[in-house]
Amino acid sequence: MNRTVLIVALVAAAAGACLAQETRLEELQNKTILLFTPHPDDDVFGAGGTIALLNRHHNRVFIVIYTNDDKGSYDLEMNSQRLARIRKAEEEVSEGLLGTPQENISWMGYDDGMLEYAPQPKLVEETTAIIRRVRPDVLLSVDPGEWYERWHKTDHRMAAFNTIDAVRAAEFWLYFPNQLLQKNLQPFKVPVMYFFYPSPQEANYWVNIDSVWDLKVDAATKQVSQFEPAVHKYRPDWEPEALARLKDEFRKQHPTKDGHYVEAFRRAKDFVQY
Amino acid sequence: MNRTVLIVALVAAAAGACLAQETRLEELQNKTILLFTPHPDDDVFGAGGTIALLNRHHNRVFIVIYTNDDKGSYDLEMNSQRLARIRKAEEEVSEGLLGTPQENISWMGYDDGMLEYAPQPKLVEETTAIIRRVRPDVLLSVDPGEWYERWHKTDHRMAAFNTIDAVRAAEFWLYFPNQLLQKNLQPFKVPVMYFFYPSPQEANYWVNIDSVWDLKVDAATKQVSQFEPAVHKYRPDWEPEALARLKDEFRKQHPTKDGHYVEAFRRAKDFVQY
Amino acid sequence: MNRTVLIVALVAAAAGACLAQETRLEELQNKTILLFTPHPDDDVFGAGGTIALLNRHHNRVFIVIYTNDDKGSYDLEMNSQRLARIRKAEEEVSEGLLGTPQENISWMGYDDGMLEYAPQPKLVEETTAIIRRVRPDVLLSVDPGEWYERWHKTDHRMAAFNTIDAVRAAEFWLYFPNQLLQKNLQPFKVPVMYFFYPSPQEANYWVNIDSVWDLKVDAATKQVSQFEPAVHKYRPDWEPEALARLKDEFRKQHPTKDGHYVEAFRRAKDFVQY
Amino acid sequence: MNRTVLIVALVAAAAGACLAQETRLEELQNKTILLFTPHPDDDVFGAGGTIALLNRHHNRVFIVIYTNDDKGSYDLEMNSQRLARIRKAEEEVSEGLLGTPQENISWMGYDDGMLEYAPQPKLVEETTAIIRRVRPDVLLSVDPGEWYERWHKTDHRMAAFNTIDAVRAAEFWLYFPNQLLQKNLQPFKVPVMYFFYPSPQEANYWVNIDSVWDLKVDAATKQVSQFEPAVHKYRPDWEPEALARLKDEFRKQHPTKDGHYVEAFRRAKDFVQY
Amino acid sequence: MNRTVLIVALVAAAAGACLAQETRLEELQNKTILLFTPHPDDDVFGAGGTIALLNRHHNRVFIVIYTNDDKGSYDLEMNSQRLARIRKAEEEVSEGLLGTPQENISWMGYDDGMLEYAPQPKLVEETTAIIRRVRPDVLLSVDPGEWYERWHKTDHRMAAFNTIDAVRAAEFWLYFPNQLLQKNLQPFKVPVMYFFYPSPQEANYWVNIDSVWDLKVDAATKQVSQFEPAVHKYRPDWEPEALARLKDEFRKQHPTKDGHYVEAFRRAKDFVQY
Amino acid sequence: MNRTVLIVALVAAAAGACLAQETRLEELQNKTILLFTPHPDDDVFGAGGTIALLNRHHNRVFIVIYTNDDKGSYDLEMNSQRLARIRKAEEEVSEGLLGTPQENISWMGYDDGMLEYAPQPKLVEETTAIIRRVRPDVLLSVDPGEWYERWHKTDHRMAAFNTIDAVRAAEFWLYFPNQLLQKNLQPFKVPVMYFFYPSPQEANYWVNIDSVWDLKVDAATKQVSQFEPAVHKYRPDWEPEALARLKDEFRKQHPTKDGHYVEAFRRAKDFVQY
C-alpha cells in the first residue's frame, strides 16, 4: 500500500472533510490566491477568466512570473532588453484588465527559455520563500500534464515541477530552515491547488467564465507582441481588422463545456505528506 | 524496428528461456536480493510483505536507502539531526521485524528531498558500485510509474531513474571502468527487476502477502514519526487507541486481489542492451 | 484556451495550408534532411529504410550522432577508444549502404551513456547551431515517446528532449544571439519533424520500405559489434550461419502494416510559437 | 599597456580628483555603509572598531552575512538549527553593541562552509541586487589576500571573490538587466572599498580604534559560542575568569600601530572599468 | 624532487636545446601564431604591437576571443545585442590595422563577465580542439599573474586558467579522445607560450614596439566604445580633441624599458609533461 | 584582529604546547599516517623518502590517490583503460619498495586531469569520510603553493584545496552529519599536516632522506610509464643505459640542504578553528 493514500484517508477521517461541500473556486471571497506562470501570458490564456472572477469577488490575487519572456520574436530589430520591457508592460495591462493590481505582480527574473538550466535547488528555495510569505488559501500553477506541453515546452515542464516541489517544501520547516531561522518565514501548507493547461484526460474541474468572457478576450489581445504580425515585425497596436479576426478565432477555438466558455483545471490537495 | 526488441528475441531464442517456468519471487530461496528505496519507509510500505517472505525463505536481503528522510516533520522543536536519528532507528526496527539483519541495511546519506539536486553522474556511479558489489539475483526498486508519484515526489522520481540507469551501467565494464581497474568490481547484469509503487495500468505482478500480513502491519506502524500525531509533535510511541485506528485504516486501504492482500509490482528484465 | 492551439489555427488560416496535399516524406526530392540520433545505429534501426529512400530521391541527408557509443561491450579485452573507432567505422559502412556520403555524417562527440550529464544549455546551444547551419526542410529525431525508451534509456531521453528544445531555440534569434552576431548563423524555423521510435499510441505516420528492405537489413547487420557474439567477444565479421539467423529474426520482428514493411513515426509541425 | 591603468588615469585627470583630500573612513558622517561578511563574527573581529566609529558618526551601516555559521561546534548535543539560532542572536547582540540596529542586519542564508558550492552566477546576481538596492557610499568586505585565509578558508575565498565580482556587475546595467527592467534596480558604481583581513603586505589603510576599544572587546566576547569552552560544550555565558583571560589575550594579540589599536584594510577604488 | 623539473632537464639534455639561440618572438617569420584573449580589446592593449610585428613578418596570426564583451556600458539606451555588434566591428577594425585578416578572428561566443560560469570541462574541450586544429608554433594568452587582474577580473582569471589547461590537454590524445577518433584532430604540443598582462615580478620577456607604435595607438583608439565618453553615451567616433587627449595619455602611461616602448610577457615552455 | 590567531594563542596557552619539543616527522613510531596525492607518482616524487622512513619506523602509512592518471601518454596505441592498469601496477611496486603494503593504497577513482570538474561538495564529502575513518596522527598532502604547480596543474590545485577543505570539515560533526548518524564516523581533528611540493618561500620543514636515498630512486624509476621513452612508445622496462642516465639526472636535480638529500614541506597545524 502506498502510504500517501493511507495518510490522506486518516487525515480525511480525522477532519471529517467533505469535498462536495467546499466552496467553488470561482465563488471564493476575501481569500489569498497565488498563481505561478512560466511566462507573462500563460496566466491570461490559461486562467484569465478565473482570475477576473477571483478579483471581482474581492480576493487578493498575486501573480508570480518565472521568466522575462524576452526571446519569442522573429524581428531582427528587436533585442532582449526591449522585448522584456514590452512583455512586462503588456502583462501589466492584461492583468490590470482582469483586476489584478500592478503591485501584486512579481517577476522572478529568469531568462526566457532558460528556466530548466537555472540552478534547481535555488529555484525551489526561492519559490518556497514566496509561498511561505504569501501563504495562499489557493495556489494556481501551470500543469505539464498536457502531452503537448510536457514534450515541447521546456519552461513549462520546469515551472510545473518546480512549483509543486516548492509546495511540498513550504510545508516542512526543515526544508530551507534558514527561511525560518534568519528571515522568520513560517512553514505553510497549501490547502488546495488548481493546475491550468491540464491534459484533457486529467482535467477534473471547470470554471464557467461566461460572465467575464469579454474581459478575458480583451486581456489576451493586449499581449500584442505575442501575436502576428507583431512577432515578425514589432508594432505596439493592432490593425482593427487583424484584431477582429483574432478575437473571432479566439472565440471559435476556446474550450467550452455544455455550451459555456470554461477554463479547465486539474484540482489536487492533501498530497504532500513527506 | 527497435533493435532492443530484436536482440531480446535473439537472446531468448538462443537461451531457450521460458518465462512461464521461472520461480515466483515469493518462492525464491538462498538468493541475493537488493532493494533500493528513496526513504526509510517506502521499502516497508511498498514491499514489506514481500521482504518478509524473502527473509523467511533464507534469501539475503539488502536494503539501500537513498536519503536520510530528515525533513518530514511539522514539529518546530524537531531538528534534522535528531530526525535522521529517529528515522534510522525506526527503519532498523521495522526491517528487523521483517527479518532483515541490521548490517544489511545501508544508507547512501543524501538529504531528504534533495536527491534530485545531487550530482547525478556521481549518484549513478555510486549506485553502480553497489550493484556490482552485491551482485543481486533480483533487484527491487521504486517505480515512478504511478502518475501521482511521478509528478509530486521528487526523490521518488530521481531514485527510480537513477536505479535503472545504474542497472544498465553495471552491466558494461566500460561504464566507470575504474571500478574494475582500481577497485576490482566486476561488471554485473541484473537478471530481473521488480518495481514497487507501480502505476495500476502497468502493474504486472502481484505477491500474495496474507501469510505475513501482521508482520507488515507491525513493521509499518513502527515508523511512528511518519504518522500523526508524531508528525506534528514528536513522540516515540503510540496511544493504544491511535494505533488501533491506524491499523484498522491500514487494513481497509491496503490493496487486495481476489480477496487476498497483495503487493503490486512492475516486473521487467532483459531490457538494457545498450 | 491554450494559446498555441489558437496561433496554429490563425497561421493555418492565413496560409491556407492544406496538410492533406503535402508531399509524402518518402517522395521528397532535392530537399535537405537532418537526422539526430543518440547512438550510431538508432538511425539505421529506426529510420534506415526511410533514409535509403530519401537518398535515392536525391535529397541531401545529414546524420548527426550525439554520442560515440563506446561502452556497450561485455568484452573485457575491449577498451573505449577502440570501441569508438569500431562504432564509427560500422556507422559509415551502414549509412554508406543507405546512400549517405561519409562527409554528411557528423559526431557531436559525447560519451556513451553520459549525454544526460552533459551541460545542458551548452548541448542545446550546439544543437541549435547545427540546425541553423544545415537549415533542413525536414528534421528527423528520436522520440522518447515509447514507454520503454523513455524509462530505460537515458541517452534517448536526453537526445529527444534536447533536439526539440533546439528546434524551438533555432527559430528565434534571441536564443543564443551570438550565433547570429558573431558567427552569422541566421535563425531558422524547422518546417516539419518526424520522430522515430514513437510509442505505438502516438505513431501517426508510416513509411513503406518494401523497396529498400534488403538495403536496410544489410545496413543493420553491418553494425556487427552491436550483436552477439561480438558484444561478448569482439569479432569484426559474421559466421554465415549467425548472420542468416539474425536476418531471419530481423524479418520476423520488423513492424509491418497491411502486409508491408514500414517504419513508424510521430509527425509534428507548427508547434513552437511561444 | 593595461587599459585599466590608462582609463583610471584619464578619469582621474578629468575629475581632478585628489586622493589625499578625501575624508578618512573613520570620519565619514551621514553616509551609507555596506559590509559583507562570510560569517556572523568576521565583521566584528575584522572591522568591529571601525563599525562602532561609523555608527557613532551617524552613518547608516548595513551588515550582510553570507552564511548561517551553523557548523562550527564540537558539541555532539548541538544541532545545526540550534546553532544557527545561537549565532544569529549573538551577532545581533554584538552588532547592537557597536551601534548597528537589528533591522540593518540581513542574512543571505547560505549554509556554513558550503558557500563555494552555491550556484555561483546566482550568488553574484543576488549580491549585485543588494548593492544596487543599498547604493553604498562605502563598501567593506572580507579580503582573501592574507595567505592564510586564502588557502584555508573556503567561505572566505568565495565571499571575497563574489563580492568583488558583484561590485563590477552592479555598475553596468547589462549585467542582470532584469534587475532594472523588472525590479527597477538602477545600476550603481561603488565609490570606494575597504577590505578587512588583508595580507600584511597589501594592507594600505589603518583605522585607529582606541576610542572604541572596549566596545569592540565587548562585542567580540558576546560571540560566546565561537570560543572555548562553548565550542566543545555549549553554554550561553562565560565563567568570569575565562572571560577575563580571553579579554586579556585579545588585548595582547590585537594588531597595533604606533602604540594604537588599529584595524587594517586594503583600500581600493576606480578599478572595475570592464 | 618535483618530477617536472627532472623531466625537463632530461628532455633538454636529450635535445641539446639551447634557449639562448632561439629566434626572438618579434623576429619570427612564416609561423603560425595563436592568441587567446578574454575580450575583444585585451589583445590590442596587451600585445597589439607584437601582433603588428608578427603580421608584418608574414606570420599567420589567429585571434580567438572568449567573450562577446556585451556588458561594459553605462548607456541605458544600449542593449547587449547592439553592444556585441559594436564590439565585433571595432575589434575587426583594430586587428585589421595590425594586419590580422578578418577571417583569422574567431569568437567563442561566451557572454561578457560570465566566462567563469560556463561549464568548465566543455570550455577546456573546445579550447583544446582549437589548439589541435590551428597547431600554433607560438601561443599567446592572457596572464592572471598581475595581482590586480587576478583579483578583480573574473573573465581574465578564467580565460587564463582555461587556456593553460587546454594547452596541457591538447598534448595528450587521451584527453578528449573523440577529437581524434571522430573528428581526426591530432594531439599537439605547444612549443612555447607568451603571456601578456603579466605581473611585473614575473615578466621575463619584452618586445620593443617602437617601430609599430603609431599602429598600436591607432588600433587601440579604434575601440571607441571602450572609452569615455562613449561608455556613458555611445557614439561611434571621437571628438578630435578627446582623441588627442587619449593618445597623449596613452603615450605617457605605456610601459617603456630603456627608453623604448615595450610589451611585457611571461614566457614559458616545456612545462606540461603530464 | 583575526580571530584565528587569537584562538590559536588561547589554545596554545591552555595546552602549554611546546612546538620545539614535538617529535620530528621522520622519527615518529607506531603512528597512523595518511597521505593524499593527486596522481600515483606525486607521492613518490614529493615524499618518497619520508614515506620510506615512516614505514621503516613501524608507522601505518595509508596512501589515497585522487585520480587514475590515465591520460599522460603520447603513444597512439595506448588507451585509457590500459594506462590506468599500468599506472596502478607501477604505483604498487613503487610504494611496495618504500614499505607501504598494497592494501593500504586506495584509489578515489577520478579521471586524470578532470578532478577540477568533479562535483566539489561530493569530493569534499568523500575525502572527509576518509579522514574520519583513518583518523591520522599526521596528514600529508600536495601543496599548490609552488607557483608553477598552482598555475599549470589543475589536478594539483584541486587536490590541494579539497584536502584542506576536508580537514576542516572532518573536525566538526555538523559537516556531513550523516557520516556520524548513518555510518557512525566520528568527527576527527587532524593534529598536524605536512604539504609536499611547497613553494620555496613557504617551505618550513625539511626531512633528511640520505638513509633511504637508494630506495627513493628505485621507487621513482619503477614508474616507467612516466618517463621517456615509455611516454612516447610504451614499454614496461628500461634500457640499462637509459635507466642509468635517469638516475644520474635524478641525483643531480634532487633538492639538497647542507649537503644532504632532503624533502621539503610546509608544516601547518591548529588552523581551522572557525
Q: What is the pLDDT of residues C255-270, one digit of tens each?
A: 999 999 999 999 988 6
Lowest-confidence pick of D10-19, D127-136, E196-205:
D10-19
Beta bridge partners of residue B110, listed in sequence order: B67
CA distance readout (Å), C161 to B60, D156, E116 = 40, 40, 27
B neighbours by CB contacts (3+ pairs under 8 Å): A, C, D, F
- The residue of chain D nearest to residue E156, with distances taken between CA atoms, is D274
* Shortest CA gap C192–chain A (Å): 14
Residue environment code for A262-272, b if the CB has 16+ CB neighbours within 10 A, otherwise e: bbbbbbbbbbb
Band of pLDDT at residue D154, cut at 50, 70 and 90:
confident
CA distance readout (Å), C38 to C74, C193, E207 = 20, 16, 51
**Per-residue pLDDT at A87 exceeds 90:** yes
Taking residues B167-174, what's their average pLDDT?
Answer: 95
Nearest Cα residue to D66 out of D103, D85, D38: D38
- Contact residues, D window 131-150, toward F, CB-based 8 Å cutoff: 146-149
**Across chain C, what does the average pLDDT equal?**
90
Q: In chain E, what residues touch C177 (CB-CB under 8 Å)?
A: 80-81, 84
- The residue of chain D nearest to residue A121, with distances taken between CA atoms, is D119
* Substitution target from E1, E11, E162 for chain F, most F beta carbons within 10 A: E1
Q: What is the pLDDT of residue C204?
A: 93
Q: What is the pLDDT of residues F46-96, one digit of tens each?
A: 999 999 999 999 999 999 999 999 999 999 999 999 999 999 999 999 999
The answer to whether the CB atoms of A182 and D88 lie below 8 A apart is yes
Band of pLDDT at residue D3, cut at 50, 70 and 90:
low
Q: Which residues touch E122 (CB under 8 Å, ≥6 apart)? A: C118, C119, C122
Taking residues E130-144, what's their average pLDDT?
Answer: 95
**Per-residue pLDDT at A264 exceeds 80:** yes
Closest CB to E1 among F45, F113, F149: F45
Taking residues E45-70, what's their average pLDDT?
Answer: 97
**Per-residue pLDDT at F33 exceeds 90:** yes
DSSP H helices, C135-239, are 147-152, 154-171, 178-181, 213-221
Q: What is the pLDDT of residue E270?
A: 65
**Per-residue pLDDT at F234 exceeds 50:** yes
E18 touches chain F (CB under 8 A): no
Nearest Cα residue to D144 out of D72, D46, D68: D46
Q: What is the pLDDT of residues A90-115, one digit of tens each?
A: 999 999 999 999 999 999 999 999 99
Taking residues D234-247, what's their average pLDDT?
Answer: 95
Torsion of CA D156, D161, D167, D169, to 10 degrees: -140
B46 touches chain C (CB under 8 A): no
F84 touches chain B (CB under 8 A): yes
The answer to whether the CB atoms of B80 and D81 lie below 8 A apart is yes
Q: In chain F, what residues touch D79 (CB-CB under 8 Å)?
A: 174
Q: What is the pLDDT of residues E162-173, one digit of tens each?
A: 999 999 999 999
* Shortest CA gap F162–chain D (Å): 10
Q: What is the pLDDT of residue C233?
A: 95
D267 touches chain F (CB under 8 A): no
E neighbours by CB contacts (3+ pairs under 8 Å): A, C, D, F
* Shortest CA gap D64–chain B (Å): 26
Q: Provide the greatest CA pair distance for chain B.
A: 62
Q: In chain D, what residues touch B80 (CB-CB under 8 Å)?
A: 79-81
B78 touches chain A (CB under 8 A): yes
**Per-residue pLDDT at F131 exceeds 70:** yes
Counting beta carbons within 10 angstroms of the beta carbon of residue F259, is it exposed (0 to 12), middle (13 to 18) or buried (19 or more)?
Answer: exposed
Q: In chain F, what residues touch E171 (CB-CB under 8 Å)?
A: 74
Q: What is the pLDDT of residue F152?
A: 64
First to last CA, chain C: 14
The answer to whether the CB atoms of D272 and E74 lie below 8 A apart is no
Q: What is the pLDDT of residues C150-199, one digit of tens each?
A: 566 789 889 998 999 999 999 999 999 999 999 999 999 999 999 999 88
The answer to whether the CB atoms of E72 and D273 lie below 8 A apart is yes
The answer to whether the CB atoms of C274 and A39 lie below 8 A apart is yes
Taking residues D153-173, what's their average pLDDT?
Answer: 91
D neighbours by CB contacts (3+ pairs under 8 Å): A, B, E, F
Percentage of residues in chain F having pLDDT higher than 70: 87
Taking residues F135-158, what's their average pLDDT?
Answer: 80
C179 touches chain E (CB under 8 A): yes
**Across chain F, what does the average pLDDT equal?**
90
A66 phi and psi, to 5 degrees?
-65, -45
Q: What is the pLDDT of residue E18?
A: 43
Q: What is the pLDDT of residue E78?
A: 96
- Regarding chains B and D, contact by 3 or more CB pairs under 8 A is answered as yes
**How many B×D Cβ pairs under 8 Å?**
10
- Residue with more model confidence, E20 or F218: F218
**Per-residue pLDDT at E21 exceeds 80:** no
- The residue of chain E nearest to residue F38, with distances taken between CA atoms, is E274
Q: What is the pLDDT of residue C17?
A: 44
B83 touches chain A (CB under 8 A): yes
Q: What is the pLDDT of residue E146?
A: 62
d(CA B176, CA A29): 59
A6 touches chain B (CB under 8 A): yes
Torsion of CA B194, B198, B200, B205, to 10 degrees: 10
Q: Which residues touch D252 (CB under 8 Å, ≥6 apart)? A: F9
* Shortest CA gap F252–chain D (Å): 32
Q: What is the pLDDT of residues C89-120, one digit of tens each?
A: 999 999 999 999 999 999 999 999 999 999 99
The answer to whether the CB atoms of E109 and C174 lie below 8 A apart is no
Q: What is the pLDDT of residues C117-148, one digit of tens each?
A: 999 999 999 999 999 999 999 999 998 766 65
Band of pLDDT at residue E157, cut at 50, 70 and 90:
confident
**Per-residue pLDDT at E93 exceeds 60:** yes
B253 touches chain A (CB under 8 A): yes
E45 touches chain D (CB under 8 A): yes
Q: What is the pLDDT of residue D10?
A: 54
Torsion of CA E135, E138, E141, E147, to 10 degrees: 140
Q: Let me know: does E51 contact E99? Beta carbons within 8 Å.
A: yes
The answer to whether the CB atoms of E249 and D10 lie below 8 A apart is yes
Q: In chain A, what residues touch B71 (CB-CB under 8 Å)?
A: 172, 174-175
d(CA B31, CA B136): 8
d(CA C147, CA C216): 25
The answer to whether the CB atoms of E178 and C109 lie below 8 A apart is yes
Q: What is the pLDDT of residue B154?
A: 82
Q: What is the pLDDT of residue B202?
A: 83
Q: In chain F, what residues touch B176 (CB-CB under 8 Å)?
A: 109
Q: In chain C, what residues touch B13 (CB-CB under 8 Å)?
A: 249
Taking residues A260-273, what's their average pLDDT?
Answer: 81
**How many A×D Cβ pairs under 8 Å?**
54
C195 phi and psi, to 5 degrees?
-105, 125
Q: In chain D, what residues touch F14 (CB-CB under 8 Å)?
A: 228
**How many A×B Cβ pairs under 8 Å?**
79
Closest CB to F183 among B80, B107, B122: B107
Q: What is the pLDDT of residue F274?
A: 36
Q: What is the pLDDT of residue C271?
A: 53
Band of pLDDT at residue C14, cut at 50, 70 and 90:
very low
The answer to whether the CB atoms of B148 and A121 lie below 8 A apart is no
* Shortest CA gap A34–chain B (Å): 19
Percentage of residues in chain F having pLDDT higher than 90: 81
The answer to whether the CB atoms of F114 and E120 lie below 8 A apart is no
d(CA C258, CA F274): 76
- The residue of chain D nearest to residue B82, with distances taken between CA atoms, is D79
Q: In chain B, what residues touch C149 (CB-CB under 8 Å)?
A: 2
C neighbours by CB contacts (3+ pairs under 8 Å): A, B, E, F
ipTM score here?
0.90
Q: What is the pLDDT of residues B132-153, one digit of tens each?
A: 999 999 999 998 766 655 666 7
A79 touches chain D (CB under 8 A): no
What secondary structure letter does DSSP report for A242?
H
Taking residues C4-26, what's their average pLDDT?
Answer: 59
**Per-residue pLDDT at F30 exceeds 90:** yes
Q: Of all helices (H) and strands (E), which one includes residue B242?
A: helix B240-253
B81 touches chain F (CB under 8 A): yes
Q: In chain E, what residues touch D120 (CB-CB under 8 Å)?
A: 116-117
Torsion of CA A73, A77, A79, A84, to 10 degrees: -60
Q: What is the pLDDT of residues C65-78, one digit of tens each?
A: 999 999 999 999 99
Q: What is the pLDDT of residue F148?
A: 57
- Regarding chains A and F, contact by 3 or more CB pairs under 8 A is answered as no
d(CA E102, CA B53): 75
Its pTM stands at 0.94
Grid cell digits, residue D210: 582606541
